[in-house]
Amino acid sequence: MIKVDEVFPVDIRASIGPAGTIKRLFQNRDFFREAGYAMTIFVNHLSRSIGIKNFYELREMKKLPEHNYVFATGAKRKKLVSRIKKWVECSRIGSYLFLRYKVLKGVYNSVQSYIDTGRRPDIVVFHGYAECYYYLKHRQSDDCAKVVVFFHSDGRDLSQLHVSFPRLDGSKLMKGEDAHYLFVLQHVDRIVFISKLAKNAFLEMHPEYCVDKISTVVNGIDDIPVLRGDFSSEKKYRICTSGTVCHRKGQYIIVEAMKHMDKSVLKETHLTIMGVGEDYDFLIRDVETSGMKEYVSFLGNVPNPMMHKKLCAENIYCLMSNNEGLPIAILEAMRAGLPVISTNVAGIPETVDNRNGFLIDPSVEQLTELLNHLPEYDWDRLGKASRKRFEEEFTFQRMLDDYLTLFNSLETTAN
């Protein structure tokens, strides 16, 4: 039996795509065992909280969490966290402190605790460059595990990090992270992307890497039948969006575009925002002060078991991300039979084209133009095409098969 360790030093309750993938892998460990791979998954578990600071321990995953992570409890705490994250985004020193001590130190401590277990897997899998870098630099000298790193990005070098911390571009810290990233590329056994477009973008930037070292495991999710029940609104065009409420995901673009819509179309339109994040409180205040409260609703954190039902209550999905890998949120919308309006970035064009929706730039002007023409399109037909594409291309069973192909290609023998 070949031993595989998945090391994911993130709170497993986080409402992010990779956390969902890890949970689905956990549920399908028997699939891998039947193929000769014994998979063990290590994730961060919340150990205690002091004020607004959470402390985590990296432990083997024994069961699925009952709920996904809630951004903050209580209005005062939520506002405080939101303001801190906004300061981090706008301040160079705030960005430095957050990345260096909150993100990187936390990751390194978690990976060191994994190394301290003395485990000797045949394959070890990471889902980020930072944890993979620390492992490669500090693992035991007799550790011969094949190392795999997944990049949940658009294939450009650390693009999400540079988008999240623009104030640090050119800094010594960011240059150091760029060097760590290149070290990982040079020393891992396999580099994996979650979309074909990301893989191609990477190879354009790094033609020096052998194609055989680069793989794709395109995202997929479990199939659930479409459940049409009560509508979320009486409006004709029920638009929804989901995911972390932040600048990168572009919820503010949707709200701004709606402010500029023709009144005759706007009165038949409603937007539901699902998710929480650093811009959540600010976006709520913007909607209230701009007189858009009648047209926009906030559901906050939606538990994973409820997401499908909520999506099925809408009839159009919109995601205005300016940087992505291949969003699980879009796959969830396609599974629910929703047409998709999204952006022409990263792996999104692998999921959306003129058969099941529209691709535009992450632009208020372009989205406003499209929304003003809502009555001209057959959204029901586009939604049915979304569901068909999901069934044919993006099920989790297909992703499991890709994962298995990846493991088999490493030519590893059991210890």
What strands lie across the sheet with 237-242, from one edge to the other? 296-300, 269-274, 237-242, 316-319, 340-343, 357-360
Residue with token string 């432990």: 59
Neighbours of 52 (CB within 10 A): 11
* Cα separations in angstroms, 242 against 293, 318, 320: 18, 8, 10
Neighbours of 388 (CB within 10 A): 14
What strands lie across the sheet with 146-151, from one edge to the other? 53-60, 37-50, 2-11, 123-126, 146-151, 190-193, 214-216
Q: Tell how many helices (H) and how many strands (E) occur in the chain.
A: 17, 13
Write the DSSP assignment of 179-217 as a string of letters. Answer: HHHHHHHHH-SEEEESSHHHHHHHHHH-TTS-GGGEEE-
In this predicted structure, what is the pLDDT of residue 177? 94
- Please give the distance of CA 31 from its chain centroid, rounded to a whole number: 24
In this predicted structure, what is the pLDDT of residue 325? 81
Which one, of 393, 379, 78, lies nearest residue 216 by Cα?
393
Residue 196: which residues within 8 A CB-CB, separation 6 or more?
216, 218, 347, 350
The dihedrals phi and psi of 172, each to the nearest 5 degrees, come to -60, -40
pTM: 0.86
In this predicted structure, what is the pLDDT of residue 2? 96
Q: Are the C-beta atoms of 123 and 296 separated by less than 8 Å? A: no
Q: Are the C-beta atoms of 360 and 348 separated by less than 8 Å? A: no
In this predicted structure, what is the pLDDT of residue 52? 60
Alpha-carbon gap, residue 26 to 41, rounded angstroms: 7
In this predicted structure, what is the pLDDT of residue 73? 47
Alpha-carbon gap, residue 190 to 267, rounded angstroms: 52
Residue with token string 């024994």: 62
What is the set of domains in the chain, with CATH numbers?
2-221+396-409 (3.40.50), 237-393 (3.40.50.2000)
Residue 56: which residues within 8 A CB-CB, separation 6 or more?
9, 11, 44, 45, 46, 47, 106, 110
* Cα separations in angstroms, 387 against 37, 128, 356, 379, 394: 32, 31, 9, 12, 10
Alpha-carbon gap, residue 219 to 361, rounded angstroms: 23
The tokens for 378 are: 């057959």
**Mean pLDDT per segment of 10 residues, for the chain of length 415 residues?**
95 84 94 96 82 78 74 54 70 87 89 95 96 96 93 89 88 94 96 93 92 92 84 86 90 96 96 89 92 93 86 95 88 96 92 95 96 96 96 94 94 55
In this predicted structure, what is the pLDDT of residue 71? 47
In this predicted structure, what is the pLDDT of residue 51? 63
Q: Are the C-beta atoms of 169 and 99 separated by less than 8 Å? A: no
